[in-house]
Amino acid sequence: MFALADCNDFYASCERVFNPALEGVPVVVLSNNDGCVIARSAEAKALGIKMGEPEFKCRDRLRQGGVEVFSSNYALYGDMSSRMMATLAEMAPEIEVYSIDEAFLDMSGFGRFDLAAYATEMRRTVRRHTGIPISIGIGATKTLAKVASRMAKKNPASGGVVVLSSPEEIAAALGATPVEDVWGIGRKWSRRLQEWGILTASDFAAAPVSWVRMQMHVVGVRVQAELKGESCLPLELVRPVKQSICTSRSFGRSVVLLEELYQAVATFSGRSAVKLRAEGQMASMVTVFIGSSPFADEGERCWFSRTATLKAPSMDSSVILKTAAAMLEGLFREGFEYRKAGVMLSGMVPRDQPGTTMLLFEEEPDEDRGTRLMAVMDEVNRRYGKSSIRLAAEDMNAWRPVRQRLSPRCSTQWDEILQVR
């Protein structure tokens, strides 16, 4: 059996932990640049505030409803997430951290326990240790655990815990789950399935496998098998290394000058390189993209991107920056209002692995110097704080998104604890 532990309204709940006055009050959290609603408390949902809705479109409703609105505080959410995961890890033999607010747990050794009672205890413990409310769903596959956790959230009478074990329980749960709410069935596929009269998870489970394979390929077949109780997705105990690393931002204002874009691209190159070294990887490809607002009028809309392969895999910030900067110059076209840029690294190669490709015709003059320099940079930043030293072309402050309603980072910054209301 798998359990899925899933936080309720995670970001909104985090805001409440250090500000109990928010209890019972509608709360929403906004995306970068205070653009869209990305988390809502139950009270905010009841007011009809939609997930992903732009703030400017619901501003009046937010004010009328007395909603407390916050910019996203990733330092706080990340820290609360690790506290919650640490608590869960103590209560199950194996855990897969699936996202910032979800974890799958291995329940296979709990045959002699009352699973529902144990899950209730896990819920209570997480709440006591972290202040975060969670729901727990348990089933024979990850997809069934997802179905169960959705029911635990929807149905208050469940006490936040749903276990699907008997065939009758499973059948009832699948019948009550709209097909678009099945994990792995997104917008496009659910619309297609609905056209064929497949409206619930139970309809989908009953569809002929050959038809599912034709329409949705192996991915759809896997979802279906999981719904039927056949486990295809194992618990992933060690996170695989990332295959790509991306740093990108919307600007919150228009940028027309190449020099300004250069500074943004330099900053994102530096951030991506830091993430790359933290993964212990080297990248062999660098992609740069710049673009207008996707909402710009036809003709003023643009999206340019280019990818270069490095002469040899690298983790050196300055090599990555030089490559990205050269591409930016080729990419840039005057006359557009740019609103977004990003730098992506891919073609990962493990560091310190013998047999990696080396340059054929050139000596590698600065390889060692670059490696040592980066090690020193990372160490200084570890000791004295992020971006204490960086490439001169970077300017994190200039490209930090607007966050006007940020709450204090009171679990990671001593000086901000004093700001707690």
Q: Give contact residues for DNA (rule: CB under 7 A).
A: 31-33, 35-36, 38, 52, 54, 56, 98-102, 146, 183-190, 217-219, 240, 242-250, 252, 254, 275, 293, 295, 307, 339-340, 342, 344, 401
Four-residue CA torsion sign, 202, 208, 213, 216: negative
118 or 216: whose CB is closer to DNA?
Answer: 216
Write down the least CB distance from residue 367 to DNA, Å.
22
Write down the least CB distance from residue 289 to DNA, Å.
11
49 or 118: whose CB is closer to DNA?
Answer: 49
Write down the least CB distance from residue 257 to DNA, Å.
17
Q: How does DSSP classify residue 408?
A: P
Write down the least CB distance from residue 117 to DNA, Å.
26
Q: Are the C-beta atoms of residues 47 and 27 closer than 8 Å to each other? A: no
Structure-token pair, residue 226: 């999981």
110 or 248: whose CB is closer to DNA?
Answer: 248
Interatomic CA distance for residues 333 and 161, integer angstroms: 55
Four-residue CA torsion sign, 75, 76, 82, 83: positive
Write down the least CB distance from residue 187 to DNA, Å.
5
Task: Report the DSSP beta bridge partners of residue 290.
Answer: 304, 341
146 or 409: whose CB is closer to DNA?
Answer: 146
> Distance between alpha carbon 50 and the CA centroid of its chain, in Å?
19
Place of tokens 């270069």: 308
54 or 159: whose CB is closer to DNA?
Answer: 54
First to last CA, the chain: 43
- CA 174, 175, 181, 187: dihedral to nearest 10 degrees? 120
Write down the least CB distance from residue 38 to DNA, Å.
5
Q: Are the C-beta atoms of residues 164 and 148 closer than 8 Å to each other? A: yes
121 or 381: whose CB is closer to DNA?
Answer: 381
82 or 307: whose CB is closer to DNA?
Answer: 307
- Name which of 30, 11, 183, 235 is nearest 101 in CA terms: 11
Write down the least CB distance from residue 35 to DNA, Å.
3
**Nearest 5 degrees, angle CA 373-CA 331-CA 276?**
30
